[in-house]
């Protein structure tokens, strides 16, 4: 028996990276999953790969920042499997930029997918779960950049901080229906996109992190599956930070100096 036998899930932005690994692990543990990606070929290729290994997965190509698309996505999952139990608003856009030159269009793109898309996916999924009357799980994808300032990620970080608050805010509406809402704040995670942006990603980011390495998509997916699982039934409104200790530290200027340390004897 898998933890998610008979459960129907939907994951946005899941053609590669963190979302794809969440889908893989959900399917491995018995869920039926609708895998969304903006890139149709990527979505269908990923879903085909999962079906080839024996899982029940269908693809859905579309923009997770488009409210009409998000609503159709929920309807398609329900049409395919008769219900929806788990929704993961994973799709997010990272647009680096100097604050002094940041364009309104760039800000709008970031907010549109990261906030508008996540908000309305949560709403559409929650309406379906409420009508089913058997509870559910909604998971948002925040980031440590919503907790600490990362230079040139101000717009992105602002959107990720807002997702943390969205998870808190929705407990009033969702709890009476047995629906939990949480978010995950990943640190620096090794994904195809990060490697493309910075081929030396593992070294350049890993060195700044207390555990001395970047995180893996498997580590984020494992945290996601816990929050989506029956075991997390009393956890709601929370953000689980999965970052190797990065966000609890403060960088020091150069080497730590012990010159003022007294002799303990």
Distance CA 138, CA 125 (A): 8
Yes or no: say if 119 and 167 are a contact pair by the CB < 8 Å rule.
Answer: no
Decide: is 9 part of the binding site for ligand NAD (CB under 6 A): no
Contact pick of 16, 85, 154, 219 for ligand NAD (by CB under 6 A):
16
Contact criterion met (CB below 8 Å) for 244 and 213? yes
Determine if 180 is a binding residue for ligand NAD (CB under 6 A): no
The region of 120-128, 130-138, 191-199, 230-238 touching ligand NAD under the rule CB under 6 A is 191-199
Q: Which residue, 27 or 73, has its beta carbon nearer to ligand NAD? A: 73
Catalytic residue among 96, 156, 234, 258: 156
Near ligand NAD by CB under 6 A, which window of 49-57, 71-79, 131-139, 181-189? 181-189
Beta carbons of 3 and 79 less than 8 angstroms apart:
no
Using the rule CB under 6 A, give the single segment among 30-38, 100-108, 167-175, 250-258 that binds ligand NAD.
30-38
CA 43 to chain centre: 17
Which two tokens mark 53?
């290994």
Kindly tell me which residue out of 37, 85, 154, 219 binds ligand NAD, with binding defined by CB under 6 A: 37
3-state DSSP: the chain helix, strand, coil percent, rounded to 5? Answer: 50, 15, 35
- Tokens 């960088």, residue? 251
- Among 233, 102, 83, 215, which Cα is nearest to 157's? 102
Q: Which is nearer to ligand NAD, 64 or 74 (CB)?
A: 64
Minimum distance of ligand NAD from residue 15's CB (angstroms): 3
Write down the least CB distance from residue 59 to ligand NAD, Å: 11
183 binds ligand NAD (CB under 6 A): no
Q: Which of 96, 102, 160, 258 is catalytic?
A: 160
Distance CA 74, CA 157 (A): 27
Candidate residues 4, 10, 12, 221; the one interacting with ligand NAD per rule CB under 6 A: 12
Tell me whether residue 37 or residue 85 sits nearer to ligand NAD (CB atom). Answer: 37
Q: What is the sign, positive or negative, of the torsion defined by CA atoms of 157, 247, 230, 17?
A: positive
Nearest Cα to 77, choosing from 46, 91, 56?
56
Q: Do residues 184 and 223 touch, judged by C-beta distance below 8 A?
A: yes
| Total residues interacting with ligand NAD, rule: CB under 6 A | 29
Q: Under a CB-based contact definition with an 8 Å cutoff, are residues 94 and 145 in contact?
A: no
When binding is defined by CB under 6 A, the residue of 31, 35, 64, 122 that contacts ligand NAD is 64
Q: Can you name the residues that pair with 139 across neighbouring β-strands?
A: 88, 182
25 binds ligand NAD (CB under 6 A): no
- Answer for which of 57, 179, 189, 240 binds ligand NAD (CB under 6 A) is 189
Residue 156 falls in the annotated catalytic set: yes
Active site residue 234: no
Closest to 235 in 3D by CA, of 245, 243, 244, 226: 226
Summarize as ranges the residues that interact with ligand NAD (CB under 6 A): 12-13, 15-19, 36-39, 42, 63-65, 90-94, 113, 141, 143, 186, 188-189, 191, 193-194
Residues marked active site are found at: 156, 160
């Amino acid at each position: 028996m898998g933890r998610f036998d008979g459960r129907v899930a939907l994951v946005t932005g899941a053609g590669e990276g963190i979302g794809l690994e969440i889908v893989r692990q959900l399917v491995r543990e018995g869920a039926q999953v609708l895998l969304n990606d903006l890139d149709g070929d990527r979505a269908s290729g990923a879903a085909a790969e999962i079906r080839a290994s024996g899982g029940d997965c269908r693809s859905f190509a579309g923009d997770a920042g488009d409210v009409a698309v998000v609503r159709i996505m929920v309807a398609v999952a329900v049409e395919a499997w008769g219900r929806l139990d788990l929704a993961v608003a994973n799709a997010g856009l990272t647009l680096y930029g100097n604050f002094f030159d940041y364009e309104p269009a760039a800000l709008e793109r970031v907010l549109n997918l990261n906030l508008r898309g996540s908000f309305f996916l949560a709403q559409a999924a929650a309406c379906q779960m409420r009508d089913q009357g058997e509870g559910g799980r909604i998971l948002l994808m925040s980031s440590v950049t919503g907790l600490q300032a990362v230079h040139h990620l101000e717009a992105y970080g602002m959107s990720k901080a807002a997702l943390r608050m969205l998870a808190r805010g929705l407990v009033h509406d969702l709890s009476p229906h047995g629906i939990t809402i949480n978010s995950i704040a990943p640190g620096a995670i090794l994904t195809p996109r990060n490697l493309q942006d910075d081929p030396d990603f593992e070294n350049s980011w890993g060195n700044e992190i207390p555990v001395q390495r970047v995180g893996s998509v498997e580590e984020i997916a494992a945290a996601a599956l816990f929050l989506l699982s029956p075991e997390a039934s009393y956890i709601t409104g929370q953000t689980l930070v999965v970052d190797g200790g990065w966000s609890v530290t403060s960088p020091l200027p150069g080497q730590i100096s012990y010159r003022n340390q007294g002799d303990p004897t």
